[in-house]
Structure 1
Amino acid sequence: MTKNFAEYDQTSSVDKIASTLRKAIFEGYFLPGEQLKGVALSRSLGVSRGSVREALRILATEGLVEHLPNKGASVRKLSLEEIDDIFLTRHILEIQAVHSIPIASEEAVQAMIESTRAYEGVANIDDQVTIAAAHITFHKAFVGLTGSMKLACLEESLMQDLQVIIACIENDRDDLQKEIANHKALTQMVLDGDIGSAEKWVDEYIPIGKEFVIEHILAEKKNPRLGR
């Protein structure tokens, strides 16, 4: 698909190009698995192909773009097996976070409170990149209750792997306020030391999230331009 980027600020800055493409991916102009053709992008953006290549490398480090032999760059597309693995690992991490509630440091709890406020703060904006970042930060802070930065960063990485799919789903949904309220409820469970409710939250939330992602992928296979 060739996107007209005329509404974006055209600039030769590689970071700005990456930002423009990132926004386009999150808004669903480019779907998972779709090729990102350097010539077409450079023409649309009014920049050099070299600058586009550098911008795509930046997005590759973020897990948004992948480079395949003889196919060039495309929006990263996860297999069903990868999604199974991601949600299985996330469930383990978040259950560990629940069990860590009684021993979580004040700093870790405060980080979760702040991430909740930040997530609430994006409730009324129309920017999928910012919304996804706030969502990821919340779950990273949640797993941060374990006191392990490695586990928190692993959760962040897993969430980043899912961010394109989640953004595409959110473009077709109208329940961000409900989603934020749901996460706010988890934070209150943490503050109340309610391990039982928090564990139930994770046990219900993770499978629902996985189901949404799989349904979206299967729908895309049937209709690659769904939601355009």
Structure 2
Amino acid sequence: MVTTESEGGALADDRPLLGRTSTAERVADILRTRIAEGFFPPGERLSEDSIGKALGVSRNTLRESFRLLTHERLLVHELNRGVFVRVLAVADVEDIYRTRRLVECAVVRNLGRPPFTVEGLDAAVTEGEKGAAADDWPRVSTANIHFHRELVALAGSPRTDELMRGVLAELRLAFHVVSDPRRLHQPYLVRNREIVTALALGDRVGGERLLAAYLDDSRTQLVDLYAARIESGDWAT
């Protein structure tokens, strides 16, 4: 798969995000977000020409942004072939969940005294519920990622936000491979709402308990589905 002209046109909408200085970090941020939202699926080759033209950046700047995202394990460089969105191994998915449990549960555990700010969490859950009602499961998947970003943001730590932004972008690579997004995401809409309700009531301990069980169940389900899909060899067709 190669980036198409239509995809380049969509990327052009992101060009204002670069501001007046087209740095590699800002380009990487745009591409990271697009990967997290499923715009570039696993295994897709990224075209320097179309992306560079869409964003209005030099080849050197774009290559530096590719290097940054390769370091974050979102891209891989294949000699004489180009740069591709990474296809995760099953062990990668398991490690992502170990990291998520360590970080997300710690955020809730250390929230301090209520009331807790849950407006962002509530908005993400509501967006997911609207997506489910419309049978738009990619929308639900994106809303779920936003929910967990908002959860981590409660820590008020830019470093934690940056860490989890990369982790959740990697997670989206696994989501894209699974063939039945409804089965993957539907059970967790209700559980997201339960976590928000617990935190809105100031129940930090209950919220952490719900979150830990959520992550454990999600890990088991996704690893099983992902492993079966990867082993089948037909996920990219």
Which of 147, 172, 177 aligns to 2:180? It is 172
Does the 8 Å contact 1:139/1:156 carry over to 2? no
Match of 2:213 in 1: 204
Confirm whether residue 15 of structure 1 aligns to residue 11 of structure 2. Answer: yes
Shift of 1:167: 3.0
Sort the Cα spacing of 1:104 and 1:75 in 2 relative to 1 into closer, same or farther, 3 A: farther
Deviation string, structure 1 residues 162-185 (Cα, Å, up to 9, x no partner) = 10211332x414344432121111
Match of 2:110 in 1: 100
Which of 227, 231, 235 aligns to 1:222? It is 231
Distance 2:44 2:236 in 1: 18
Cα root mean square deviation, aligned: 3.9
Identity among equivalent positions (%) equals 20
Distance 1:11 1:147 in 2: 34
Sort the Cα spacing of 1:178 and 1:83 in 2 relative to 1 into closer, same or farther, 3 A: closer
Which of 27, 30, 36 aligns to 2:45? It is 36
| Matched residue type, 1:192 | L
Map 1:83-94 → 2, pairs under 5 A = 83-94=93-104
Map 1:60-79 → 2, pairs under 5 A = 61=69, 65-79=75-89
Q: Partner of 1:190: helix, strand, or coil?
A: helix
Q: Partner of 1:74: helix, strand, or coil?
A: strand
Q: Across the two proteins, how many residue pairs are aligned to each other?
A: 205
Map 1:149-164 → 2, pairs under 5 A = 149-164=158-173
Does the 8 Å contact 1:65/1:76 carry over to 2? yes
Give structure 2 stretches of 5+ with no counterpart. Answer: 15-29, 55-61
Deviation string, structure 1 residues 145-195 (Cα, Å, up to 9, x no partner) = 2232322332232111110211332x4143444321211111001112223
Does the 8 Å contact 1:95/1:202 carry over to 2? yes
Distance 2:176 2:167 in 1: 15
Does the 8 Å contact 2:93/2:174 carry over to 1? no
Shift of 1:52: 5.7
Q: Partner of 1:141: helix, strand, or coil?
A: helix
> Scaled by the length of structure 2, what TM-score is found?
0.66
Does the 8 Å contact 2:127/2:140 carry over to 1? no
Match of 2:125 in 1: 116
Does the 8 Å contact 1:112/1:141 carry over to 2? yes
Q: Partner of 1:70: helix, strand, or coil?
A: coil
Distance 1:159 1:227 in 2: 21
Give structure 1 stretches of 5+ with no counterpart. Answer: 39-48
Distance 1:194 1:112 in 2: 15
Distance 1:179 1:54 in 2: 39
| Matched residue type, 2:101 | H
Does the 8 Å contact 1:96/1:146 carry over to 2? no
> Scaled by the length of structure 1, what TM-score is found?
0.68
